[in-house]
Amino acid sequence: MSILYAFLVISALGLLLGLGLAFAAKKFAVKKDVVAEQILEVLPGANCGGCGFPGCSGYAAALSAKTAPNGLCPPGGAAVAAKVAAILGIEESGTSEKMVAFVHCRGNHELSSLDYQYDGIEDCNAAALLFKGDNTCKYGCLHLGSCIRVCPTSAISRDEKGNVTVNPELCIGCKKCTLVCPTKVIRMIPARGSHAIACNSNDPGAKVRKICKVGCIGCMICEKKFPDSGCKVVNYLSEIDYGKPMTQIAEAAQACPTKCIVEAK
């Protein structure tokens, strides 16, 4: 008889608690954001953080709450922005052009001088703590590859001389490398740009010449002789305005005395 009681009591207890939970689940159901879930499905799911939100779900929630503009997703680009616009029922907008990272430096241990021999751990930010890195030029690439390690698509590589380059085909434009880089030598350029300035130095030309063979010396040949190249020298450093036609950029690259206008392949 008592075994029957035991059976009944545990069954009844289980049933009661189960029903209670089922009831509570209905009663306390939290409305999930359906729109956000739909958006999350069309986002690439790389969780790269390029949009500035904590992962794809964060951006999806912000989009659904209309607190973030559409088109912030660099890996998704225009295709994803169009899908998101369709879900939200808004006009496709804010689709910025594809940007890729570019290392604005071609200096290496053969071409540019060093202040000291860095022997610490292989991390650019660690090296930057010591007199802003071992390079005499404090604007250039430290070659220790912190950007390589944060890149989610392995788009950044380093050759045997230490030069760090970004493969624009693989770059999804998440800007992680630009954030980790202590000298800010990695900046974003439009993917359509054929050329880029491979120097980041604001030092005067005389100083640049002394410490680096491939630095921009601010001679202004590109700006003055090739006005349609889009180049403009500011703070002893030539910059390309990608909004300009850039018809003469190839000639300017030829004429550059230190050859620091390079093809952004």
Partner 1 sequence: MSYIAILITYIFINNFIFTQFLGLCPFIGVSKNSESAIGMGIAVTFVMGLASLITYLVYHFLLVPLQLQYLQTLSFILVIAALVQFVEMIIQKNSPALYQALGIFLPLITTNCAVLGIAIINITQGYNLMESFVAGIAGGLGFTLAIILMSNLREKLDLSPVRKAFKGVPIAFVSGGLMALAFMAFDKALLTNLLG
Binding site for partner 1 (CB under 8 A): 2, 5-6, 9-10, 13-14, 17-18, 20-21, 24-25, 28-30
In angstroms, give the least distance from the CB of 120 to partner 1: 17
Residue type, 168: P
| DSSP three-state, residue 135 | strand
In angstroms, give the least distance from the CB of 109 to partner 1: 32
Residue (32 or 91) nearer to partner 1, CB: 32
Residue (30 or 121) nearer to partner 1, CB: 30
In angstroms, give the least distance from the CB of 232 to partner 1: 48
Residue (114 or 129) nearer to partner 1, CB: 129
191-215 burial, b if ≥16 CB within 10 A, otherwise e?
bebebbbbbbbebebeebeebbbbb
Q: In this structure, how many other beta carbons lie within 10 angstroms of the beta carbon of residue 250?
A: 15
In angstroms, give the least distance from the CB of 33 to partner 1: 12
How many Å apart are CA 148 and CA 153, to the nearest integer?
9
Q: For residue 194, which phi and psi values (nearest 5 degrees)? A: -80, -30
Residue (9 or 179) nearer to partner 1, CB: 9
In angstroms, give the least distance from the CB of 4 to partner 1: 11
Residue (53 or 102) nearer to partner 1, CB: 53
In whole angstroms, how far apart are CA 59 and each of 65, 218, 265?
A: 10, 41, 31
Residue 40 in tokens: 């999350």
Q: Write out the DSSP string of 20-40.
A: HHHHHHHHTPPPP-HHHHHHH
In angstroms, give the least distance from the CB of 15 to partner 1: 11
Q: How many residues does the chain have?
A: 265
Residue (18 or 257) nearer to partner 1, CB: 18
